């Protein structure tokens, strides 16, 4: 089985990028140290009018490892009231097809 891909899209109002990146960086710093973490990319829209302006894409070894990474420390950081300003749409995926040129 190939790795699991976590895709997490965030609504971030124009002008609130720094507040979002500070919160995201705290959780990211925790997640990259967890067993099963492989890689991640944080994407930012070129258009400030895009609804989902930031998209985090991360590779994990297995869904179980991804789930285990959501420990007490993760839940504490995620409970920060600041996250309420940044609605998100997360999901776990598997790679259906991959092409490289």
State the average pLDDT over residues 62-78: 96
- Tell me whether residue 82 is in a domain: yes
- pLDDT tens-place string over residues 10-44: 999 999 999 999 999 999 999 999 999 999 999 99
pLDDT band at 2 (very low <50, low <70, confident <90, very high): confident
- Tell me whether residue 12 is in a domain: no
So what's the pLDDT on residue 54?
A: 98
- Tell me whether residue 85 is in a domain: yes
Which pTM value belongs to this model? 0.91
Domain tally, the chain:
1
Whole-angstrom distance, CA of residue 50 vs CA of residue 53: 6
- Tell me whether residue 95 is in a domain: no
Mean pLDDT rounded to a whole number for the chain: 95
- Tell me whether residue 44 is in a domain: yes
So what's the pLDDT on residue 1?
A: 56
So what's the pLDDT on residue 27?
A: 96
Full domain range(s) for residue 84 = 24-49+77-89
- Tell me whether residue 59 is in a domain: no
Q: Which of 56, 65, 60 is nearest to 90 (CA)?
A: 56
- Tell me whether residue 70 is in a domain: no
Q: Which of 14, 91, 24, 20 is nearest to 45 (CA)?
A: 14
């Amino acid at each position: 089985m190939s790795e699991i891909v976590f895709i997490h899209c965030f609504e971030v109002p124009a002008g609130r990028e720094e507040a979002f990146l500070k919160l995201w960086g705290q959780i990211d710093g925790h997640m990259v140290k967890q067993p099963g973490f492989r890689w991640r990319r944080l994407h930012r829209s070129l258009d400030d009018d895009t609804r989902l302006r930031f998209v985090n894409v991360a590779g994990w070894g297995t869904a179980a490892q991804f789930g285990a990474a959501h420990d007490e420390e993760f839940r504490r950081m995620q409970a920060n009231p600041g996250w309420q300003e940044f609605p998100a749409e997360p999901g776990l995926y598997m790679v259906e097809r991959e092409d490289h040129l």
